[in-house]
Amino acid sequence: MENALYADPRVCEAAAVGVPDERLGEVVAAVVYGRPGVGDYLTEEGLIAQLRSRSEAFLFYFIPAFLQLCHGLDYRGLPSLL
């Protein structure tokens, strides 16, 4: 999932996490931090559309159930996200 998001040059950092789902048990949610200066050019809808247009997008797991833009990802000095 992260590699598919990183294919967009406007994405600086991305993380995909599992979140509980009543019907499926778990679905993918993605959190994306855009490169400085992209401003309104990076939207949730635009990223979802880009993922759907990729050749492997027929695989449903390349499309997150939820996508949230943020202002930075929290590492707190650790090599992985908190």
Examine residue 78 and state whether it is found in any structural domain, yes or no: no
Say which CATH number the domain at 54 has.
Answer: 3.30.300.30
* Cα torsion 50, 52, 56, 61: sign: positive
Residue at 82 is within a domain: no
Please report the pLDDT score of residue 16 as a whole number: 87
Say how many domains are in the chain.
1
Listed residue (32, 26, 38, 45) closest to 71, CA to CA: 32
Within-domain flag for 75: no
- Asked whether residue 55 carries a pLDDT value surpassing 70, the answer given is no
- The range of the structural domain enclosing residue 61 comes to 2-70
Point out the least confidently predicted range of 17-21, 48-52, 74-78.
Answer: 74-78
pLDDT value, residue 82? 46
Does the residue 36 lie in any domain? Answer: yes
Mark out the alpha helices in the chain (DSSP H runs): 2-6, 44-53
Q: Is there a domain that residue 47 lies in?
A: yes
Q: Which tokens is 80 given?
A: 């992985």
* Residues whose CB is less than 8 angstroms from the CB of residue 68 and which lie 6 or more positions away in sequence, other chains included: 29, 30, 31, 32, 44
